[in-house]
Chain A
Amino acid sequence: MKFSVPIFDVKNLSFVLKEQTILSNISFEIFPSEYIAIIGPNGGGKTTLVRMLLGLEKPTNGEVKIYGKGLSHFNEWYKIGYVPQRASLVDGSFPATVLDIVNMGRTSQRRLFSTLSKSDRTFVHDAMQKMDILDLADKMVGTLSGGQRQRVMIARALASNPKILILDEPNTGVDAASQKNFYALLRELNKKDGITIVFITHDIGVIADDIARLFTINQKAIICNNPKQTLSCEEMSSLYGIDAHLLHNHRHEH
């Protein structure tokens, strides 16, 4: 690998919940500017893995390091933008305009006793511009479509000026056209801005040309360093639990 210092260094990670093994002995590294896709069957442990990377779950065994530090010693969390699975499912009655939500992306970096600074506002403006939601600034977030909400949640993540963006299937309730734009945007964030992307998805066929590596997670992990060739059908079938030929065919349709 050409990069020397990994952003994430995961060693022998296991997670056991109520005597059921969710993840077993997983090790990998993620380097700056990589675009990683994570696939696997529902219940295979994808979300649990990402939650452990973010410190939201404690591993039963093993260790996660971010920029060489253990999670409890890492204090530059603003470098990580996280868009969770339910991101576009907004509580419609929550009193928040689009601007209120994107401003949240600057909250953890503000100094005590200070409101948003000029540079905070610039980051917020730039993130909204990038997501093409400037004209929605004063709209209540509960009134937006699924695709618009998705862009708002990513704008909030981008407002903190992250070095790494972690997205957990943020496509729930989003129409096909918006999804296509969304994949193009992720490609641009990765290629132009150099943002590292870790993306849990089912649509591996659509983004196969963009990604650097593919992690297939189903209790164990198989890391595929050349996703354009993807995994062999046999490996994919045993991991994914479905007929992998469908996945390959799906990919060629796009």
Chain B
Amino acid sequence: MLEMFEYDFMQRAFIAGIIIAILASISGTFVVLRRYSLIGETLSHSALLGVAVGLVAEFNPLWSAVLFALFAAWLIEYLRSAFSLYSDAVLAILLSGSLASAVIIVSLGGAFNNSLFSYLFGSILAVSSDDIVVIAVFGAISLFLLLLFSKEFYFIAYDEEVAKTSGIKVDFLNLLLVSIVAIIIALSIRVVGSLLISALMIIPTIAALQFRVGFLKTVLISLCIALLSVFSGMTLSFHFSLPSGATIVLCVLFIFILSLVINRR
């Protein structure tokens, strides 16, 4: 099993995968508790639009994915507050709008090929050294901010209004959380793929919640589940030549079902 680490691309894939598992599971806890689960799906499609622009314009698509996901996150928050639109409707409009634009751009630019396929479903072959640097730098910033404001995010997730009346800057922190989530989703697109990343964010937390333990233990269980899924998914992906994102998501789903069975009451 260890022979897979003799390949440089596998080493890079595992480094990226471990960073993403940490980021996705910790941010995912707040996303689920905040009832923001659908945001991940929308932002990942906005990131895909960024990838399409990057592919056609021929620069590192990871950068444009980060920019487009961030812009989409801010647009969602703006539309929610400035217009009395239903939150889920805003997410659905942006999701389909981003996907349609991405397909048109890639189609016009003639970049409809394997490269795009790898961004949709993730590929362990696709992680370059440059990608590792981008993932590590942005990942470190995101993790730092998540941990720095974790108590505030937790309070807001539990009761936004009471958090507000106790003096916590709720509007600013909501914007910060969706921005961090946008960055993490864009970073994950290489390994897990845009269609599957929100599963790696949401499912480990949902599985951890089945254990009915306090906040810190829930985060730790979610982290372990995400790491285990990424490790086993990438190993299976290597040995059976499968898209890494899909195998990772199937692994996390399997662990989720196990946690349901273990905690059945």
A95 near B155 with CB under 8 A, answer no
Q: How many Å from the CB of A52 to the closest CB on chain B?
A: 12
Chain A positions 75 through 109: 1 when the CB is less than 8 Å from some CB of chain B, otherwise 0 = 11110101010000000011111011101110111
B164 near A56 with CB under 8 A, answer yes
B165 near A104 with CB under 8 A, answer no
Q: Is the interface of B mostly helix, strand, loop or mixed?
A: helix
Given contacts A104-B155, A104-B158, contact A97 B165 (CB under 8 A): no
Q: In this assembly, does B33 line the interface, its C-beta being within 8 Å of a C-beta of chain A? A: yes
A95 near B209 with CB under 8 A, answer yes
CA distance A80 to B165 in the complex (A): 8
Which B residues lie within 8 Å of A94 (CB)? 33, 158
Which A residues lie within 8 Å of B154 (CB)? 100, 104
A107 near B155 with CB under 8 A, answer yes
Q: In this assembly, does B152 line the interface, its C-beta being within 8 Å of a C-beta of chain A? A: yes
Q: In this assembly, does A55 line the interface, its C-beta being within 8 Å of a C-beta of chain B? A: yes
CA distance A84 to B165 in the complex (A): 11
A96 near B214 with CB under 8 A, answer yes
Q: In this assembly, does A32 line the interface, its C-beta being within 8 Å of a C-beta of chain B? A: no
CA distance A142 to B212 in the complex (A): 9
Contact residues of A between 140 and 161, Cβ < 8 Å to B: 140, 142, 156, 160
Given contacts A84-B159, A95-B215, A113-B148, contact A54 B165 (CB under 8 A): yes
A107 near B214 with CB under 8 A, answer no
Which A residues lie within 8 Å of B208 (CB)? 95
Which A residues lie within 8 Å of B110 (CB)? none
Given contacts A56-B164, A82-B165, A107-B166, contact A97 B212 (CB under 8 A): no
Q: How many Å from the CB of A12 to the closest CB on chain B?
A: 23
| Residue in B closest to A91 when the chains form the complex, CB atoms | B158
Residue B151 contacts which of A107, A138, A140 (CB distance < 8 angstroms)?
Answer: A107
Q: How many Å from the CB of B169 to the closest CB on chain A?
A: 9
Which A residues lie within 8 Å of B33 (CB)? 94-95
CA distance A104 to B212 in the complex (A): 19
Contact residues of B between 82 and 105, Cβ < 8 Å to A: none
Residue A140 contacts which of B148, B166, B212 (CB distance < 8 angstroms)?
Answer: B212
Q: In this assembly, does B143 line the interface, its C-beta being within 8 Å of a C-beta of chain A? A: no
CA distance A140 to B215 in the complex (A): 10
CA distance A198 to B239 in the complex (A): 66
CA distance A81 to B251 in the complex (A): 45
Q: How many Å from the CB of B100 to the closest CB on chain A?
A: 36
B214 near A140 with CB under 8 A, answer yes
B212 near A93 with CB under 8 A, answer yes
Which A residues lie within 8 Å of B155 (CB)? 104, 107
Which A residues lie within 8 Å of B164 (CB)? 55-56
CA distance A138 to B212 in the complex (A): 12
A84 near B158 with CB under 8 A, answer no
Residue A108 contacts which of B148, B161, B168, B218 (CB distance < 8 angstroms)?
Answer: B168
CA distance A82 to B212 in the complex (A): 27
Q: How many Å from the CB of B46 to the closest CB on chain A?
A: 29
A82-B162, A108-B167, A142-B212 given; name 11 further pairs at CB < 8 Å.
A56-B165, A77-B166, A78-B166, A82-B166, A84-B159, A95-B33, A95-B209, A96-B214, A100-B215, A104-B162, A140-B214
Question: What would 28 A/B residue contacts be, using CB atoms closer than 8 Å?
Answer: A54-B165, A55-B165, A56-B165, A77-B166, A77-B167, A78-B166, A80-B166, A82-B161, A82-B165, A95-B209, A95-B212, A95-B214, A95-B215, A96-B214, A96-B215, A97-B215, A99-B214, A100-B154, A104-B151, A104-B155, A104-B163, A107-B151, A107-B166, A108-B163, A108-B168, A109-B167, A140-B212, A140-B214
